[in-house]
């Protein structure tokens, strides 16, 4: 395949997409600068406060829209609170998205996959007023929905090889919970309270095993059978995990020192907490033991026993991760309310009860998923809540209210509780709102101050997994990822999960790509789950990968039953081939000027032209972002 032809077609197609279609298209004279020029708009990773202006910049690369201005319907309390606030403050907003925009958006947001051309045509042909809500119902709980959100949750709790083969069992359980819409508070309690003789048998104990801190030779933390794992540091790591994931509060700083004289300019609430408060929060785990499974006198890390037979949290224990412990009480006391366990109750059971019954549990959860669907959380960052700045009537002097819309946050949390902590209902509520269904295109001048009002739909860069899986769908050429054996309720301890594979990245239990595919996924920000996952951000390495990686180049070839090959074999009309490639890749038909140019290229060399066109479409900002 001629690289020169590749580059010239790439430039021509992208010029059409990035400029006014009525302007004359000219291929760049200097192909060496083409990549940086074309991708300039995606080099700058968006920050929450810049989401609107970033969207404004990216929208300029899209084709013209048929969105019409007009009164936006209020479909639920979200719309009453979002648009009511805008109306009160005189803030303009975008019109409703078109059916084509909505269809691509909702498929990517709920399933992480671009839709098929057949499904798009059927949706556009449907004239019933309730077709959007019917589509939302169809996608929520679907296998693709389960794949995406199970993978997200595995990222959230950083599920990795520290769980050993138990990771497959956990992945299976999360998928089953999502498919059945298991109440989220019940699921959370199971992750906090589980015990097991083997994490290869009890799925919910694996997040506990993942947080274990491996001890060093000669350490004195715990009895002989626990010394391979640093018990006290593991208590601390789990305490931080539960605070971050379930309460949206980051305990990391107060795990080392008092908040006073450290956090006054960062978090008012935590500045008032002491390290001793953290000790007592970790004290709920003080009776828990983490014991490596032993085979033939050798400890097998990642294969563990978890029980509650220890003596309690040692506030003078040596630490491998933090400042030396200072002593003091290690008896359990809930940091958020000062509540202590009921007499005779298991401390971890009490911790789970206190966490899931506290109002912050629901607030943190709805804010997390609101941020995933709307790109910007009502509180940002989602795991940095300052509990002293949540009440509009009680804001500390010199500080601003943290939630952009506190009434919305509280009503979402209340609805979540009333609906039995149903994630399905939470997704349904948000996605059916007109606030979610606004267009990314904003008529008139955009101001950054509009961002906190959600005056438009914000563009979201696809994750590495979404990009890969969408390339797979667009080209019809699957990938190969290990660690996908998650269909069995019980995974054989002798079975190597790497021997099973799946074709979609989000079907796997953990990142398992190899070779060129691994490099491609890393370039687009795939997490190794050693640290907390960060939002996808653009970088200069990504266009290079898109231009040169076999993950893209090999899959656009008219070979191995690829989409290009099937289209060329099916249609003699080059115009039809062009239309199908646009629909299957960008979920829209080509503009007249785009179609004319693309057809002329295919007329000169059908196979090479179709391959180059598919390659060019996969490189578009329009493909890499969800609008």
Q: Dihedral of CA 349/354/359/360: which sign? A: negative
Q: How much is the pLDDT for 246? A: 98
Residues listed for the chain? 627
Asked whether residue 486 carries a pLDDT value surpassing 60, the answer given is no
Q: How much is the pLDDT for 499? A: 46
Cβ atoms of 244 and 383 closer than 8 Å: yes
Q: How much is the pLDDT for 4? A: 38
Average pLDDT over residues 487-503: 48
Q: How much is the pLDDT for 626? A: 97
CA angle 132, 138, 140 (to 5 degrees): 100
Asked whether residue 13 carries a pLDDT value surpassing 70, the answer given is no
Tokens of 583: 């629909």
Helix axes 406-418, 359-374, angle to 10 degrees: 110
Q: How much is the pLDDT for 71? A: 85
State what percent of residues in the chain have pLDDT above 90.
Answer: 79
For residues 353 and 609, give the distance between their C-alpha atoms in angstroms, rounded to a whole number: 62
DSSP helix/strand/coil, 343: coil
For residues 600 and 16, give the distance between their C-alpha atoms in angstroms, rounded to a whole number: 14
pLDDT band at 398 (very low <50, low <70, confident <90, very high): very high
For residues 184 and 367, give the distance between their C-alpha atoms in angstroms, rounded to a whole number: 14
Q: How much is the pLDDT for 302? A: 85
Tokens of 228: 């391979």
Tokens of 264: 């006054």
Average pLDDT over residues 253-267: 94
pLDDT (tens digit per residue) in 47-99: 566 899 999 999 987 876 666 667 899 999 999 999 999 999 999 999 999 99
519 dihedral zone (left: phi>0; alpha: psi -120 to 50; beta): alpha
DSSP helix/strand/coil, 293: strand
Collect contacts of 216-220 with beta carbons under 8 A, ≥24 apart.
216/320, 219/318, 219/320, 220/318
pLDDT (tens digit per residue) in 305-338: 999 999 999 999 999 999 999 999 999 999 999 9
Cβ atoms of 35 and 11 closer than 8 Å: no
For residues 396 and 20, give the distance between their C-alpha atoms in angstroms, rounded to a whole number: 50
DSSP, residue by residue, 500-555: SEESSGGGSSS----HHHHHHHHHTT---SSS--------THHHHHHHH-HHHHTT
pLDDT (tens digit per residue) in 518-540: 999 999 999 999 887 777 888 88
Q: How much is the pLDDT for 42? A: 35
297 dihedral zone (left: phi>0; alpha: psi -120 to 50; beta): left
Q: How much is the pLDDT for 158? A: 96
State what percent of residues in the chain have pLDDT above 70.
Answer: 87
For residues 122 and 473, give the distance between their C-alpha atoms in angstroms, rounded to a whole number: 18
Tokens of 490: 């019980």
- Of residues 39 and 438, more confidence is placed in 438
Q: Which residues pair with 300 in a beta bridge?
A: 293
Average pLDDT over residues 145-153: 98
DSSP helix/strand/coil, 294: strand
Closest listed residue to residue 529, CA positions, set 171, 162, 234: 162
Helix axes 3-18, 606-618, angle to 10 degrees: 50
CA angle 515, 173, 193 (to 5 degrees): 115
Average pLDDT over residues 579-590: 97
- Residue that has been written with the tokens 């996605």 in this structure: 431
Cβ atoms of 482 and 512 closer than 8 Å: yes
Q: How much is the pLDDT for 371? A: 97
Tokens of 344: 């005779």
């Amino acid at each position: 395949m001629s690289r020169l032809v590749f580059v010239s077609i790439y430039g021509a197609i992208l010029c059409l997409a990035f400029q006014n279609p009525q302007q004359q298209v000219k291929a760049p004279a200097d192909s060496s600068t083409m990549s940086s020029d074309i991708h300039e708009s995606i080099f700058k990773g968006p920050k929450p406060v810049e989401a609107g202006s970033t969207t404004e910049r990216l929208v300029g690369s899209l084709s013209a829209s048929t969105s019409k201005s007009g009164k936006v319907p209020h479909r639920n309390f979200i719309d009453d609170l979002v648009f009511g606030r805008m109306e009160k403050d005189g803030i303009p907003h975008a019109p409703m998205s078109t059916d084509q925009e909505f269809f691509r958006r909702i498929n990517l947001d709920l399933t992480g996959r671009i839709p098929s051309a057949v499904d798009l045509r059927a949706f556009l042909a449907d004239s019933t007023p309730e077709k959007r809500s019917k589509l939302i119902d169809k996608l929520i709980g679907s296998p693709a929905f389960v794949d995406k959100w199970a993978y997200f949750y595995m990222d959230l709790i950083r599920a990795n090889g520290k769980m050993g083969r138990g990771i497959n069992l956990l992945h299976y359980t999360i998928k089953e919970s999502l498919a059945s819409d298991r109440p989220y508070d019940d699921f959370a309690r199971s992750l906090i309270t589980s015990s097991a003789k083997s994490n290869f048998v009890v799925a919910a104990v694996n997040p506990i095993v993942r947080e274990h801190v491996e001890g060093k030779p000669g350490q004195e933390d715990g009895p002989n059978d626990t010394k391979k794992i640093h018990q006290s540091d593991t208590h601390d790591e789990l305490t931080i995990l539960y605070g971050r994931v379930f309460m949206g509060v980051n305990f990391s700083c107060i795990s080392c020192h008092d908040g006073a004289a450290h956090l006054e300019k960062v978090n008012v609430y935590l500045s008032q907490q002491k390290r001793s408060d953290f000790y007592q929060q970790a004290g709920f785990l003080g009776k828990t033991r983490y014991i490596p499974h032993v085979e033939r006198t050798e400890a097998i890390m990642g294969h563990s026993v978890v029980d509650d037979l220890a003596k309690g949290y040692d506030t003078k224990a040596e630490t491998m991760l933090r400042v030396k412990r200072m002593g003091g009480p290690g008896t359990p006391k809930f940091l958020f309310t000062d509540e202590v366990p009921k007499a005779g109750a298991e401390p971890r059971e009490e911790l789970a009860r206190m966490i899931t019954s506290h109002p912050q549990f629901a607030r943190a959860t709805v804010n997390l998923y609101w941020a995933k669907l709307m790109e910007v959380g009502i509180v940002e960052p989602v795991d940095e809540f300052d509990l002293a700045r949540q009440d509009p009537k009680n804001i500390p002097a010199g500080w601003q209210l943290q939630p952009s819309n506190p009434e919305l946050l509280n009503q979402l949390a209340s609805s979540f509780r009333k609906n039995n902590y149903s994630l399905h209902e939470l997704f349904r509520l948000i996605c059916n709102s007109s606030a979610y269904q606004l267009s990314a295109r904003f008529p008139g001048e955009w101001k950054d101050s509009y961002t906190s009002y959600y005056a438009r739909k914000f563009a979201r860069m696809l994750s590495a997994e979404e990009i890969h899986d969408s390339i797979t769908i667009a080209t019809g050429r699957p990938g190969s990822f290990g660690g996908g054996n998650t269909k069995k309720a019980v995974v054989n301890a002798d079975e190597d999960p790497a021997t099973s594979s799946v074709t979609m990245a989000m079907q796997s239990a953990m990142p398992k790509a190899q070779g060129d595919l691994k490099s491609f996924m890393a370039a687009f920000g795939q997490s190794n789950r050693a640290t907390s996952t960060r939002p996808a951000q653009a970088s200069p390495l990504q266009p290079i990968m898109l231009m040169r990686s076999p993950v893209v180049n090999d899959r656009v070839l008219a070979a191995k039953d690829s989409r290009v090959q099937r289209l060329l074999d099916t249609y003699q009309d080059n115009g039809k081939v062009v239309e199908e490639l646009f629909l299957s890749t960008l979920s829209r038909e080509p503009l007249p000027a785009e179609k004319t140019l693309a057809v002329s290229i295919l007329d000169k060399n059908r196979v090479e032209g179709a391959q180059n066109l598919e390659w060019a479409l996969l490189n578009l900002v329009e493909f890499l972002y969800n609008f």
